[in-house]
């Protein structure tokens, strides 16, 4: 791993643990075991690291979404694929995911506006899937935006509790979440012994 990669990796862990604002360049230098001044030969500022993390993660989410939309035959398939893709990206690096989800507020302009535009565009992909599903009769959704916010809110908790060594792997989590989000908690209707509902 190059020194620049080491700096970014360590800073990302610190941003998750302490928050971007509470992390100083001295904290970063101490964690790396180097002089603070030497960090500046590799990066301009700690915000540069935040920018790199946020926009690299955004790129990964878009790439995963493009693949999810390309493989689904129905809106239900596409939504399941999109949920799975989102879970895969979130769990690939939970430290970077947590920073992406919570520390973007510390981006300065013009990066903040660019990030928010990308977030809206990404959410728009989910809204389009749900809209298409509603039009085809697959989904009964009165408010597409509310549905998307509900789905993403459920998914974006993952970096706070997911552990790679845990018993649930990303694919299992994605399947379970997809089932719950698409079907709710209601058990399937079962016929009575006499055949009546």
pLDDT exceeds 90 at position 176: yes
| Inside any domain, residue 111 | yes
Please tell me the distance from the alpha carbon of residue 143 to that of residue 163, in angstroms, as a whole number.
Answer: 33
| Inside any domain, residue 42 | no
191 three-class SS:
coil
| Inside any domain, residue 13 | no
Average pLDDT in the chain: 92
pLDDT exceeds 90 at position 188: no
| Inside any domain, residue 167 | yes
- What local confidence, expressed as pLDDT, does residue 195 receive? 47
Burial class (CB in 10 A: 0-12, 13-18, 19+), 13: middle
Higher-confidence residue of 126 and 3: namely 126
Number of domains present in the structure of the chain = 1
Can you state the angle between helices 3-18 and 46-71, rounded to 10 degrees?
A: 90
Range of the domain at 130: 47-183
Burial class (CB in 10 A: 0-12, 13-18, 19+), 114: middle
| Inside any domain, residue 9 | no
- Beta-carbon count within 10 A of 180 CB: 11
Which CATH number belongs to the domain containing residue 160 in this structure?
1.10.357.10
Q: Which residue has the tokens 């709710």?
A: 184
| Inside any domain, residue 95 | yes
Each residue's pLDDT tens digit, 91-132: 999 999 999 999 999 999 999 999 999 999 999 999 999 999
| Inside any domain, residue 177 | yes
| Inside any domain, residue 190 | no
Burial class (CB in 10 A: 0-12, 13-18, 19+), 148: buried
pLDDT exceeds 50 at position 192: no
Global confidence as pTM:
0.89
Each residue's pLDDT tens digit, 123-165: 999 999 999 999 999 999 989 999 999 999 999 999 999 999 9
Contact 62, 122 (CB under 8 A): yes
pLDDT exceeds 60 at position 88: yes
């Amino acid at each position: 791993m190059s020194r620049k990669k080491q700096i970014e990796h360590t800073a990302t862990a610190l941003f998750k643990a302490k928050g971007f604002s509470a992390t100083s360049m001295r904290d970063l230098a101490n964690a790396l075991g180097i002089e603070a001044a030497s960090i500046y030969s590799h990066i301009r500022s700690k915000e540069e690291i935040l920018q790199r993390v946020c926009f690299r993660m955004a790129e990964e989410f878009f790439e995963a979404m493009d693949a999810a939309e390309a493989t689904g035959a129905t809106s239900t398939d596409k939504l399941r694929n999109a949920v799975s893709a989102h879970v895969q990206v979130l769990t690939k690096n939970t430290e970077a995911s947590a920073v992406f989800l919570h520390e973007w507020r510390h981006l300065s302009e013009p990066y903040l506006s660019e990030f928010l535009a990308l977030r809206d565009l990404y959410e728009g992909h989910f809204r389009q899937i749900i809209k298409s599903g509603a039009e085809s009769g697959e989904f009964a959704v009165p408010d597409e935006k509310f549905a998307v916010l509900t789905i993403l809110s459920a998914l974006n908790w993952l970096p706070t509790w997911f552990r790679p060594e845990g018993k649930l792997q990303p694919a299992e989590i994605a399947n379970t979440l997809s089932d719950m989000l698409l079907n709710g908690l209601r058990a399937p209707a079962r016929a009575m012994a006499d055949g009546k509902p």
